[in-house]
Structure 1
Amino acid sequence: MDWDKLRIFHAVADAGSLTHAGESLHLSQSAVSRQIRALEEALGTTLFHRHARGLILTEQGELLFDATSAMAKKLDSAAARIRDSEEEVYGHLRVTTTVGFGTLWLAPRLTKLYERYPDLKIDLMLEERVLDLPMREADVAIRMKEPAQADLVRKRLLNIRMRFYATPSYLERMGRPNSLEELRGHRLICQSPDTAQVSEGARLVQQAMAHDLPSTLTVNNYFGVLQGVLNHLGIGILPDYLTVDHPGIERVLPEIESGEVPVFLAYPEELRSSRRVTAFRDFIQEQILIYRRQQMGETAPE
């Protein structure tokens, strides 16, 4: 159905006159009349009874006017939302990050974001695959390396390291190793060396595995590794950002850790002025600052 003809029909039905509708649409009366006749022919029905005092909708015309009125309201609402979005944070935001960071650090903090922006709709896509931001597979990405794609706004959020962790209960029961060689007396919990992960984490896993460990538990994401550690199954290799939210685990082999892993936030240049993206970016930077202060308090000397 021709949208332009429907728009003209709605104006005529609303005004009750070809002349008045033409004035509002900046069209001649004859042009409006032709469009109405063409619409009636396309639908195979009469939409108006023509009287000396003006036009009256037929039963079929009433049905169509109800439909165009609903359409007009939705379009007006959408236009208002678009205008409001320049000042309000509203609508869908597609965020992609790794399974570990998204599950263990980002998702628990989203409560505060929703409290601030209750009309925000976030689609959180957790996967190791790097989505194509310029092709709009996602709006915002948080990745464990600097994005290589062009035309992106990027911000370095923090650096993380992979370290060894266990629960006090496990260490009390099984003892505390003082070297990688002493891991032979423990069960290692880590991501499989074949699993997609940051290269620094994979190197630390390979370094530990080289000591011919009798028992291991490998999982394909850090959430599973953390659950194994929290349930006292062994010593796990985990990112250090977990310690703030999980004070029930403690570091083992403190002299051994991975190299630094940079964490970047990125989004397409074309979304630089998006209120949703700006709100999310500012919120993440605020949460990173809070996290750093908590981490400093956690590691400060007594």
Structure 2
Amino acid sequence: MAAQWDDLRVFLAVARAGGLTPAGQRLRVDPATVGRRITRLEEDFGAPLFARSPQGYALTEAGQRLLPQAVAVEQAMEAAFETAENASGGLSGQIRIGAPDGCANYVLPQVCARIVEDNPDLEVQIVALPRVFNLSRREADMAVGVSRPTAGRLTVQKISDYHLHLAASEDYLASHPEITSLADLQGHRMVGYIPDMIFDKELDYLTELGVERVNLASNSVSVQFNWVRSGGGLGVVHDFAIPSATGIKRILAPDISLTRSFYLIRHADDRRLERMNRFAKLVAEGIRTEISRLEGMA
């Protein structure tokens, strides 16, 4: 059973990652080893499970038939793992959480560090990507999002509101014309998202403020924040990020104040896993507490 599950674990990793290299990275084994394991499984199964192409590995019809059976075995193994874990009283194993890079850079690190400190056998991986995560392909075990998904077998829990303000560095403000109204923004350098790479309408801050031109643009919140911090221009920044730098000043507050929300998104099947439920509760509580703490310092 152990050997069979190990082969199915490799199969699931390739199916979800779409290739040998990313699957090997997730499994912490050499891609060549992953390839040999897939070949062996296909020989045992009597049919090719993947169609190989330069674009990656895609499931064949046989692979599609095997997928739900492999997922069922995975869930059974998770349940068995939980039984042993509950006996020890602490969380263990590996859990991967995806998040937009604002949350992933300025909130989640300290939240997850505290959880691991209390659960030393636990491994937490944070995937910071400026896009929506595909939980069906298990890109992550759960994800933080900025809006509620409308499709897929998912469970969604609102975690917390958070706030954003227009801001600039004190150095920038000292060397540029004073800003007392929205009209004064004309002529100032603006920092924001690359317009065609805004992956969620909730992130289209500058359009909401009537700004049409972005002089310094990136799909990364961290890049934008560093531009603002280093005097590159004006940008909408998370209040929870402000304490991580010195010399950043909010502009036109409270007249310009944006409120958004974080949601914890999970695959519906994971509701049966107490381990995931416990971790999700700790993450949600931790994010709420950390946002409140950081915004109070902004």
TM-score range, shorter chain: 0.5 to 0.7
Query: Is 2:257 the partner of 1:264?
Result: no
Alpha-carbon distance, 1:277 to partner: 2.1
SS across alignment from 2:98: strand
Report if aligned partners of 1:244, 1:291 keep a CA contact under 8 Å in 2: no
State the one-letter code of the partner of 2:268.
E
1:161-180 alignment runs, 5 A limit: 161-180=163-182
Could you tell me how far apart the structure 1 residues matched to 2:112 and 2:247 are?
22
Counterpart code for 1:136:
R
- Does 2:84 match 1:84? yes
Cα distance change of structure 1 residues 106 and 183 upon mapping to structure 2, 3 Å threshold = same
From 133, 136, 139, the counterpart of 2:138: 136
Question: What is the RMSD of the two structures over their aligned residues, measured on CA atoms?
Answer: 3.1
Equivalent residue number for residue 25 of structure 2? none
Provide the C-alpha distance between the structure 2 equivalents of 1:199 and 1:288, rounded to a whole number of angstroms: 22
CA contact (8 A) 2:192 2:206 kept: no
* TM superposition score normalised by structure 2: 0.63
3-state SS of 2:133 partner: coil
Aligned to 2:96: 94
Which residue of structure 1 aligns with residue 226 of structure 2?
227
| Residue equivalent to 1:50 | none
TM-superposed deviation, 1:109: 3.4
Shift of the 256–198 alpha-carbon distance from structure 1 to 2, 3 Å rule, reads: farther
Q: How far does residue 93 in structure 1 lie from its aligned partner after superposition?
A: 0.9
Tell me: CA distance 1:195–1:151, structure 2 relative to 1, closer, same or farther (3 Å).
closer
Q: Report the CA distance shift for 1:297/1:127 in structure 2 as closer, same or farther (over 3 A).
A: closer
Q: CA-to-partner distance for each residue in 1:130-173, whole Å, 9 max, x for gaps?
A: 23334534211110101223443321011234421112232233
Aligned partner (choices 202, 205, 230) of residue 204 of structure 2: 202
Stretches of structure 2 lacking an aligned partner (at least 5 in a row): 5-77
Candidates 193, 196, 217, aligned match of 2:195: 193
Structure with max Cα Rg: 1
The percent identity for this pair of structures is 23
| Count of aligned pairs between the two proteins | 220
Q: 1:272–1:130: structure 2 CA closer, same or farther, 3 Å change rule?
A: same
Q: CA deviation at 1:228?
A: 0.8
**Secondary structure, in 3 states, of the residue corresponding to 1:243?**
helix
Instruction: Classify 1:118/1:172 alpha carbon distance in 2 versus 1 (closer, same or farther; 3 Å).
Output: same
Find the counterpart in structure 1 of residue 157 from structure 2.
Answer: 155
Report if aligned partners of 2:240, 2:295 keep a CA contact under 8 Å in 1.
no
Q: Structure 1 residues 247, 108: closer, same or farther in 2, change over 3 A?
A: farther
Specify the alignment match of 2:252 in structure 1: 253
- Work out the CA distance in 1 between the residues paired with 2:102 and 2:154: 23
